[in-house]
Amino acid sequence: MSAASSGVSLDPRTSARARAWAEGDVDDDDRAALLALLDRAEHETGDDAARAAAEVASAVDGHLEFGTAGLRGALGPGSNRMNRAVVVRAAAGLASHLHRVAAPADPEAGPPMCVIGHDARHGSAQFARDTAAVMTAAGVRALLLPRPLPTPVLAFAVRHLDADAGVMVTASHNPPQDNGYKVYLGGRCTPGGGVGADGDDAPGRGAQIVPPADAQIAADIAAQPPAREVPRAEKGWSVLGGDVLEAYLNGASALPGPPPSDGHRSALRVVLTPVHGVGGAVVIEALRRAGVTDVAVVPEQADPDPAFPTTAFPNPEEPGVLDLALALARRRDAHLVIAVDPDADRCAVAVPDASREGGWRALTGDELGAVLGEHVASGGLAGGRDLRRHDGDAVLACSLVSSSLLGRIAAAHRLGHAETLTGFKWISRAPRLVFGYEEAIGYCVAPQLVRDKDGVSAAVVVAALAAQLQAQGRTLLDVLDDLALAHGVHATGQVSFRVEDLSLIDAAMARLREQPPAELAGRVVERVDDLSEGSPETTGVPATDGLRWTLHGGGRVVVRPSGTEPKLKCYLEVVVPVAGSDLGSARALADGQLGDLGAAVRDLLAL
């Protein structure tokens, strides 16, 4: 009995697609695995055949979509998975784009140049070598980073080397079975090129791709032949030495200013976890150069391990991921816990807090964003004493789903503030940017170094700030108290709805557009912004599928479909002024109002 006779029909077109993909694959193991799966679907019986048929269809009925995050998906054979054949065709498409855009921009500058990095996930090193081989065969100058390194090092290299493009093979904090392919553009692929006479970068130089480049590259990829027919050089690319990493470390470690002399090192005790990723050694060295030397690494999570044995979802925001680090911090009586995600572009921080169970508190992305934003705005970084510019204010930027507190901090320092779409591909493009963050623990404290979120430089800055505060008998929590007294308590949270049927999200968004709420949790909805209209006069951001409701008293709700998961996400904020210096009452009131607002949003959506 075949799959068809067991109740599962394997479409002949699916079988043909699977055989065609296998024939064009460049990896013998992937080819054999896909053909074996197809054989099971066509010749086995019962549930085994049905499962095999479903796997074949999932693998080849469609293509892994190339978008503004590049590629990301589960490893495995087939057009809809991350594998060598998909990477070879993606590299060939990107090479075509570079020849079409970069070479005509300045023919005398020579062939396009692409720098390539990778993390330590399954397949990452091979995918990076395949990319270098394809680029070289296509006449693109390919520069390969020497070993697994954090994503911020690759993003830095694109700017430092004035490359036309960069590729980072990583799935960031995704589960172990995933991998990805992140693309940056720079040099001649950036409108306006290089750095202007006033010191400002051209928009997006060294940043992740955005429309229309993503669609153009996707079209170039779709035009490529089967992977086996794509030329690949056996040699000819360059493997970079340690100069790029050295330059990055020098830049990141210098952000807080000169470290204390050897006889007066920081007394700050830090616990660090790289969550089985590639950031550990780089963060430790950056901290050392900045004068923070008492750093203990969580031994169970210290070394790169693509299996991520201590966590199924290696995101420092996820419950349980920081447990080992907090346990070590208690044993060492540490002052600060720092976690970076596996490719070290995100940073999480926890601090001692006697009022919390377990004696420690993890700061939210909004809280750390406010602390870092205040530090930058106050001139706390090297060379940042006067952020006012002759051509306008320096700008603090955050995503539209992040707290409004950053805007108040910017106004208090007479600086500019920008809200952008979610994702650092947008935040990093804010004009005159000096600091940017998003609530999902992403921070850009040094846009002159890296036009992306950077967990390494964020770790350096927050550790140096914590050490400075410690010398004054203060902590990061005292900074949060200062901000609350000055600007009110800004409490933020999130309500998410995961669905099996994506049409439920479309229907919910349509219903909310037709009938927006007049009030939520007793607060009048004073303003409704439909973010799909994209009017800069009313929303300040380009068009996106989302709604924003501004509440009386300063709170707000942003509702948007997730771009990566089958979820409808609702971002909540309430703002409570502090009467006198009674922070405790204000925080209790804010927590209660935030809970009420979350309950009201759940009732409204009813998903």
Q: How far is CA 516 from the centre of its chain?
A: 31
Distance CA 290, CA 308 (A): 29
- The Cβ-side half-sphere exposure at 293, using a 13 Å CA radius, reads 11
Structure tokens at 102: 């970069």
Structure tokens at 314: 């290696």
The size of the chain, in residues, is 607
Say if CB 199 and CB 221 are below 8 A apart: no
Respond yes or no on whether the N-terminal peptide bond of residue 191 is cis (omega within 30° of 0).
Answer: no
- The Cβ-side half-sphere exposure at 595, using a 13 Å CA radius, reads 6
Strand runs labelled E in 485-562:
489-498, 519-520, 523-530, 547-551, 556-561
Closest to 400 (Cα-Cα) out of 295, 235, 534 = 534
Distance CA 334, CA 269 (A): 5
**Other CB atoms within 10 Å distance of the CB of residue 12:** 8
Distance CA 342, CA 306 (A): 9
Longest dimension (CA), the chain: 79
The four Cα atoms 594, 596, 597, 601 give a dihedral, to 10 degrees, of 140
Q: Active-site residue among 79, 96, 124, 172? A: 172
Active site annotation includes 496: no
For residues 121-138, b (16+ Cβ closer than 10 Å) or e, as one string? Answer: bbbbbebbbbbbbbbbbb
Q: What is the H or E stretch that residue 282 is in?
A: helix 280-289
Structure tokens at 440: 């999902």
Report which residue type is found at 53: A
DSSP state of 309: T
Which residues carry out catalysis?
Answer: 172
